[in-house]
């Protein structure tokens, strides 16, 4: 391969790795949301006890709630 040429196989491989990492992070965050809801602790206390970023967990929680609300609206139609 000449210098400056794009290695498409390398780029595609990196993209697949990023997608798998992103999916794993979302699964992990979803697990924390379920655990937090089951514990009955406040979000602040749970995040502090598990050394989590409260803002990221809150954003994920809001996203999950929005998706659930949309699914419920579709079900009602």
Domain spans, the chain: 9-76
CA 4 to chain centre: 35
Percent of the chain with pLDDT over 90: 0
Q: Is the pLDDT of residue 13 over 70?
A: yes
Q: Residue 44 in contact with residue 53, Cβ under 8 Å?
A: no
Q: Is the pLDDT of residue 73 over 70?
A: no
User: Tokens representing 61?
Assistant: 């929680």
Q: Residue 54 in contact with residue 43, Cβ under 8 Å?
A: yes
Percent helix, strand, coil in the chain, to 5, is: 80, 0, 20
What region does 66 belong to: left with phi over 0, alpha with psi -120 to 50, or beta? alpha
pLDDT value of residue 11: 72
Q: Is the pLDDT of residue 21 over 60?
A: yes
- Is this model's pTM higher than 0.75 or not? no
How far apart are alpha carbons 31 and 37 in whole angstroms? 10
């Amino acid at each position: 391969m000449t210098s400056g040429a794009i290695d498409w196989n390398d780029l595609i491989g990196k993209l697949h790795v990023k997608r798998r990492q992103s999916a794993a992070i979302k699964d992990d965050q979803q697990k924390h949301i379920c655990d937090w809801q089951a514990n009955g602790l406040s979000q602040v206390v749970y995040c502090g006890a598990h050394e989590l970023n409260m803002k990221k967990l809150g954003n994920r929680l809001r996203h999950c709630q929005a998706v659930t609300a949309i699914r419920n609206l579709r079900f009602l139609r």
